Amino acid sequence: MDQLSEDRKIVRLEETESTNSYLKELLRTEHLEEGSVVVADFQTAGRGQMGNSWYSTKGDNLLFSLLIYPIEIPANEQFIISRIISLAIKNTLDQFTDDIRIKWPNDIYWKDRKIAGILIENSLQGKIIENSIIGIGLNLNQQVFPPELPNPVSLRQITATEQDKDYILDLLMKEFFLLYRGLQRGEKQVIEDEYMLDLYRVNGYYWFE
């Protein structure tokens, strides 16, 4: 993770309402370096896209939020952040299994089952993104899910191996900042092309710009 400050904060919590909310409140009270992270064993009010809740048993999964300052990204191009984190999750999981796909706009699938979700909250100032809080819920070690959840799966269920959360967090951060630095070097089209190749498509579903 090149160019990240050694002063970036890593907060580890046993429990919080949501890591996004915790990081947002922390940012109101102090300056945080880019790459700061809040990780929780359990979220009492975990959120997904469109206000959906995120269910996770305590300590089993990787639940965290990441702070970046993407001031070079115009506000009207903010979806590139979603593309980068989606690709970072996919590239991380590709090291453990096949058949990982990105389901537009904010889910990661293994075959036809959801393994991760993303919630991005951008703070805008005019045409500039002042900061972006990227929340991720990645099913790692959970083996039993509520029946009302239609299609969840965890990496442990796929690989039959218990996963190290800290190790996977480190891998994911490296993958993210590799792509993010690439964007800063002008590799936007490369990222967009890779994203389109990795989209999940089923029953005539296609993603449109």
Helix residue spans in 58-154 (DSSP H): 79-93
Q: For residues 60, 61, 66 and 72, what is the CA-based torsion angle, rounded to 10 degrees?
A: 170
pLDDT classification of 208: cutoffs 50, 70, 90: very low
Q: State which amino acid sits at residue 170.
A: D
Average pLDDT, the chain: 91
Is residue 133 a contact partner of residue 24, using CB atoms and an 8 Å limit?
yes
Predicted TM-score (pTM) of the model is 0.91
User: For 115-165, how does the pLDDT look when each residue is reduced to its tens digit (9 = 90+)?
Assistant: 999 999 999 999 999 999 999 999 999 999 988 888 999 999 999 999 999
- Domain at 10-197, CATH class: alpha beta
Percent of the chain's residues with pLDDT above 90: 82
- Angle 57-62-66 from CA coordinates, rounded to 5°: 135
- Using CA atoms, how far apart are residues 199 and 110, in angstroms rounded to an integer? 12
Q: Where in the chain are the domains? A: 10-197
